[in-house]
Structure 1
Amino acid sequence: MPFDENEILFTDSDPEYRNTRLESGIPPPSLSTLPRPIRNVRAKNGYEPSQQQQQQQQQRSAPITAMPSQPKVDISARLLFVINNQHGSKLAELLATQEWSRMMSDKDDVRGRRTDERLCNSGLLQSIDKCKQVLAQMPPNVVDRACRAIHQYAAVSQSALDNEAAIMLGHLDFLLQPIREYMQPGRLLNYVDLGSHKHGFSQYIRWRAGQQSGGMKTQGWYFASSVSASDTPASKDLRVFAEPGGILDPRNIEQFVQVVRGDCADGADVVVADSCLDGSGLNASEEKQQYLFTIAQAAVALRVLRRGGTFVFKAFEASTPLSAELLFLIYACFERMAIVRSSVSQITSSERYVVCNRLNADPRWVSSHLLAALAKMHAGQLKLSHLVSWTRVSSDKHFIEPVFRSNMAIAQMQLQSLNAVAAYKQPPSSSSYSKHQIETASACLQQWNLPAIKPSLLN
């Protein structure tokens, strides 16, 4: 056949390549046509395989039975997405220009609070909302028992630290060292704790400082939430601030900043912030309102942190332009931002933590901008839709693409967990942690250098 130079050729590396089944009109050879020595294991020379060889042949031909195994334990137990700030400190100054900041107006634009396909697949989030509606019809105790039974890392919460917030910060500290970075013998660690449950973040920081061989002192300021105010006794190394209205009241923020700056003129080394949500993830409206707390927490952090300081905060929803713009404003002030989904988190929630390392820009305009938005919302003068230009934020592929990947990965994990909880058939007598959960927790806590599981649970 002559060669046609215009004929389309296919190779294995071509995405359009397809394996084609071979057809032949010639039938396969019949066993009866083969010579007898080939058909019979006993050849003319009298050779016969030994009994051991026959057993080996039978073992090779026997079907392989898969052994039951427990799920693989990932000691790191996280999804991690890192975004390095390639713009440097000039980006924070650029945000103050009219091209960036003009979007925050009194005009209500619902598009700013709707899911954007550049941030996450809307169909995936709709499936999550439907699953939450199904679980909302189930008895809460049944859902809780199913979540605990399915959650591979559930027993980690039974560490002797006895505080889930403290354990969570310990896990983040193992992954990215936002606290251990400042653990140096003989130095004073200044930190701010914004509303962690039962001051768990403060508990971990003081415990970690006590583990240093050379000894280390800490000085902390705790901005109590309405839930945790009564559970947090003040001490000589932890000053508690609690006012009606909490952190969402701009006047309380001003007072708290003055207290911290009055005690620590150089600024805090690290700010750690929690949310006031229950963490179950079953209340979709609460997760979508988390940006209010993040705005307030970021406004505080950017005013009390020293140059080179670290900001750690919890986030839930990051699939709307408004939430992405808020992340971008914070990202602009630091050298690096890391979005972490810890496997210790409640499996039915979209909870993630954001760790921002090394404050390297002048944050005054960003903090003032966030505080102005919070003040207008607190006074009922603004229904926030945008913080900066979404067109400009969405065009920054270096920022948007990691946010999209993190949203998709966390949403897929959440949907899988919600479906598993909805389909789980809880045995009536099953109420304790399984042996595998105990072993997983013990291995993780040892690797993370955290206190082991309570002895009572091991027994």
Structure 2
Amino acid sequence: MDDKKPGHTPNRKRLIDVGNEDSDTKEISTSTAASSKAMKMMDSMGYIPGKGLGQGTRIAFASEEVEVAERKVWLSKCASATLLSVDDWIELGQRQLSMENEHTFCDPQVLKAVLDSKSALDVLDKSLIRRARDKSNPFVTIGKAFFQNRAALKMANIDAACDFMFTSPRDRQGVARECDPLFFADVYAGPGGFSEYVLWRKGKASVESFEPCYGQAGDGDVYKGVNILHFRDYVKANTGGKGVHFTMADGGFSVEGRENNQELLSHWLYLCQCLLALTITRPGGHFVVKLFDIFT
């Protein structure tokens, strides 16, 4: 059966219009933010008291060419680590709950600028933010296409950008691997967009092609070691002891009101997802995981 490939969109031009069509957009109170850094940033962006940010104005920018082709840049190969050397990396201390001083691996000025920019959004109406976000992304009109949600398109994009190395694995010489059936794991998969794409791509629409597993505790909690060990044994038992060809992890949770600290709050989740992937992915396999920010 021939594999399906997502359609390729040609280069196109567009005009960006940041005017406001909605007449019910809420105005921003100047009394609560007049002295804040956010208000100063808004002033520099053209905020007018009583009119909001850009309300009643229409700004047309010059034509912008949108390039569809994506260029991937791989990290350079790291030196092999031993269990002893990894132990030396561990430092014990108080849990950090704020990003302000987390600049060991990045420029502190860049970190501050990003956090200030994100904080400036806190005083804006959510509908205004959503509209601006949608207008900044030329592909938002694609929506979910014929899938049940946009997550499927994200995985389709990742797979295509990486020469379909997930759904059509090849060896180091570029020769297609004989892997029928193709085994994969989808961690924190709800509502299932990643799996939906893979099953569609391989022409497997039947529910028999996918089997849920919630671990020994029966709750699907990847934070629990018993669930990780149970899933490892389950995968090995059903793949001839080899493991899956690739693992996908799309875990996340609401951080409303704590957006600037999302990376710190998500560390535990990242660690557990990576640990699970290492226990079930076969040698030469692949792992894709969603991360929020990369400062730490």
Q: Give the structure-1-normalised TM-score.
A: 0.44
Residue 131 of structure 1 corresponds to 117
The verdict on how the C-alpha distance between 1:116 and 1:205 changes in structure 2, with shifts beyond 3 A counting, is: same
Deviation at 1:109, TM superposition (A): 7.6
Residue 205 of structure 1 pairs with residue 198 of structure 2: yes
CA distance in 2, matches of 1:163, 1:257: 28
Query: Of residues 219, 223, 229 in structure 2, which corresponds to 1:248?
Result: 223
- Aligned residues of 2:119 and 2:260 also touching (Cα < 8 A): no
- Aligned residues of 1:257 and 1:300 also touching (Cα < 8 A): yes
CA distance in 1, matches of 2:97, 2:256: 27
- Cα deviations across residues 88-143 of structure 1 (Å, max 9, x unaligned)? xxx14x2x12x5413425443859974335x3222222222222222122222221
Query: Of residues 103, 108, 132 in structure 2, which corresponds to 1:122?
Result: 108
Query: Of residues 264, 272, 275 in structure 2, which corresponds to 1:288?
Result: 264
Deviation at 1:81, TM superposition (A): 3.0
3-state DSSP class of the match of 2:290?
strand
Residue 153 of structure 1 pairs with residue 139 of structure 2: yes
The one-letter amino acid paired with 1:241 is: C
CA distance in 1, matches of 2:266, 2:73: 20
Residue 181 of structure 1 pairs with residue 157 of structure 2: no
- Aligned residues of 2:97 and 2:265 also touching (Cα < 8 A): no
Residue 84 of structure 1 corresponds to 76
Residue 237 of structure 1 corresponds to 209
CA distance in 1, matches of 2:194, 2:257: 21
Residue 308 of structure 1 pairs with residue 284 of structure 2: yes
Gaps of 5+ in 1: 1-67, 211-216, 219-233, 321-459
Residue 188 of structure 2 corresponds to 195
The verdict on how the C-alpha distance between 1:111 and 1:290 changes in structure 2, with shifts beyond 3 A counting, is: closer
CA distance in 2, matches of 1:124, 1:171: 28
CA distance in 1, matches of 2:95, 2:187: 30
- Aligned residues of 1:172 and 1:178 also touching (Cα < 8 A): no
Structure 1 vs Structure 2: percent identity of aligned residues?
A: 20
1:390-401 correspondence runs (5 A): none
Deviation at 1:261, TM superposition (A): 1.6
Deviation at 1:170, TM superposition (A): 0.6
Deviates more, 1:279-288 or 1:119-128: 279-288
Deviation at 1:273, TM superposition (A): 1.0
- Aligned residues of 1:136 and 1:282 also touching (Cα < 8 A): no
3-state DSSP class of the match of 1:289?
helix
Query: Of residues 52, 67, 72 in structure 1, which corresponds to 2:65?
Result: 72
The verdict on how the C-alpha distance between 1:281 and 1:162 changes in structure 2, with shifts beyond 3 A counting, is: farther
The one-letter amino acid paired with 1:239 is: E
The verdict on how the C-alpha distance between 1:108 and 1:158 changes in structure 2, with shifts beyond 3 A counting, is: closer
- Aligned residues of 1:165 and 1:197 also touching (Cα < 8 A): no
* Higher percent of residues as helix: 1
Query: Of residues 140, 144, 153 in structure 2, which corresponds to 1:167?
Result: 153
The verdict on how the C-alpha distance between 1:279 and 1:82 changes in structure 2, with shifts beyond 3 A counting, is: farther
**Count, aligned residues:** 225
CA distance in 1, matches of 2:78, 2:135: 43
Residue 46 of structure 1 corresponds to none
CA distance in 1, matches of 2:95, 2:127: 39
CA distance in 2, matches of 1:308, 1:102: 27
The verdict on how the C-alpha distance between 1:273 and 1:104 changes in structure 2, with shifts beyond 3 A counting, is: same
The verdict on how the C-alpha distance between 1:148 and 1:203 changes in structure 2, with shifts beyond 3 A counting, is: same
- Aligned residues of 1:165 and 1:196 also touching (Cα < 8 A): no
- Aligned residues of 2:183 and 2:246 also touching (Cα < 8 A): yes
* Higher percent of residues as strand: 1
Deviation at 1:282, TM superposition (A): 7.7
CA distance in 2, matches of 1:103, 1:168: 33
Determine which structure has more spread, i.e. the larger CA radius of gyration: 1
Query: Of residues 257, 274, 280 in structure 2, which corresponds to 1:298?
Result: 274
Query: Of residues 143, 151, 154 in structure 1, which corresponds to 2:129?
Result: 143
The one-letter amino acid paired with 1:238 is: F
- Cα deviations across residues 403-447 of structure 1 (Å, max 9, x unaligned)? xxxxxxxxxxxxxxxxxxxxxxxxxxxxxxxxxxxxxxxxxxxxx
The verdict on how the C-alpha distance between 1:306 and 1:202 changes in structure 2, with shifts beyond 3 A counting, is: same
The one-letter amino acid paired with 2:107 is: N
Gaps of 5+ in 2: 1-60, 170-175
Residue 252 of structure 2 corresponds to 276
- Aligned residues of 2:144 and 2:152 also touching (Cα < 8 A): no
Pairwise CA RMSD of aligned residues? 3.2
Residue 319 of structure 1 corresponds to 295
The one-letter amino acid paired with 1:261 is: K
Residue 267 of structure 1 pairs with residue 243 of structure 2: yes
Question: Could you say which structure has the greater relative contact order, defined with CA pairs below 8 angstroms and 6 or more residues apart?
Answer: 1
The verdict on how the C-alpha distance between 1:282 and 1:112 changes in structure 2, with shifts beyond 3 A counting, is: closer
The verdict on how the C-alpha distance between 1:77 and 1:86 changes in structure 2, with shifts beyond 3 A counting, is: closer
Deviation at 1:148, TM superposition (A): 1.2
The one-letter amino acid paired with 2:73 is: F
Deviation at 1:189, TM superposition (A): 0.3
CA distance in 2, matches of 1:236, 1:307: 26
The one-letter amino acid paired with 1:179 is: F
